[in-house]
Amino acid sequence: MTDIKLIAFDADDTLWENEPFFTHAQDRFTNLLANYIEVENMHDRLYATEKKNLSIFGYGAKSFTLSMIETAIELSEGKITGKEIQQIIDFGKDLIQHPLEVLEGVEETLAALKGKYELMVLTKGDLFDQEAKLARSGLAAFFDHVEIVSEKDEATYQQIFNRYKVKAEDVLMIGNSLKSDILPMVALGAKAIHIPFHTTWVHELVDEKTLEGKEYHTVENIRNIISLINQ
C-alpha cells in the first residue's frame, strides 16, 4: 500500500446502497407477470434480456426498465396491456428516484483520506443517473475527480491512467465487484481492496478459479481501509 497517489472508489454498493432496489423492482415485475405466466426462473429470463441488451442500452435503471418491458411483451406473447406497461415504467422511475442511503463508515473514511490523496469516483452506468446519485449523496465535495464510464475493463482503466498521467502501481481501487472493480485493476498492476456487499448482481459474479493467484485485499467495512493503507 505504499506510493499511492490516486484512490478510486466504485459508487453503487460501495458508497451507497443500490442492488437491493433492483431486486425489489424485479420482485414487483415478477408479481405483475404472474397474471400471464408462471415462470419459476423469472429473474433468469429477465437477466437474459438484460445481458443481450447491455451492448445496446448499457447499464443502469433505464436499460433495466427497457429490458423489463421487452421481457414482459415476450413472456405474455404480446398480451400485456398498456396500463401494465405503464406500471413497469413506474417501477423504473421509482428505481431512479429512490432515496439514497450512504453506507456506514463512508463519510468518515472519505474525510480521513481527503487532502492526503487524490480521490476519484469511478463508476459505470447511465451518466445522468450516476451524476444525480452523486449529487444526492452529499459526497461530491470529497472527490477531486469523477469518471462515469460505460464499461469497467482493462482498456477503460488504462485510458483513465493515461488521461490523468498516473501509473497503475500508484492507483488504489476500492469496490464491491470482483469482476469490474478488482480483477481488471489487478491485471494492470494497480492495488485493489474488495469490500463485499451482501447482495451482488449476477452479472458481476466470478468463478472462484479466476481469483487464484490474484493479489488484492478484502475488508468487511470501508472504515478498515484506513488502517490497511497506513500499515
Domain layout of the chain by residue ranges: 6-17+101-230, 19-97
d(CA 210, CA 201): 18
Q: Answer whether 212's CB lies under 8 Å from 183's CB.
A: no
pTM for the model = 0.90
Beta-ladder partners of 129: none
Sign (positive or negative) of CA dihedral 74, 75, 78, 83: negative
Res 212: pLDDT: 81
Res 38: pLDDT: 77
Residues 6 or more apart in contact with residue 207 via CB below 8 angstroms = none
> Architecture of domain 6-17+101-230 in CATH?
3-Layer(aba) Sandwich (3.40)
Report the 10 Å Cβ neighbour count for 226: 14
Q: Answer whether 161's CB lies under 8 Å from 167's CB.
A: yes
**What is the mean pLDDT for each group of 10 consecutive residues in the chain (231 residues)?**
92 94 93 84 89 92 96 94 97 92 96 97 94 96 97 96 97 95 96 89 74 88 93 79
Give the chain's radius of gyration (CA, Å): 19
Q: Answer whether 134's CB lies under 8 Å from 140's CB.
A: yes
The H or E element spanning position 171 is: strand 171-175
d(CA 49, CA 63): 10
Beta-ladder partners of 147: 122
Per DSSP, helices labelled H in 149-191 are 154-163, 183-188
Res 211: pLDDT: 76
Res 154: pLDDT: 96
Res 201: pLDDT: 65
CATH number belonging to the domain at 19-97, selected among 1.10.10.10, 3.30.1490.100, 3.40.50.360, 1.10.150.240: 1.10.150.240
Q: Answer whether 32's CB lies under 8 Å from 88's CB.
A: yes
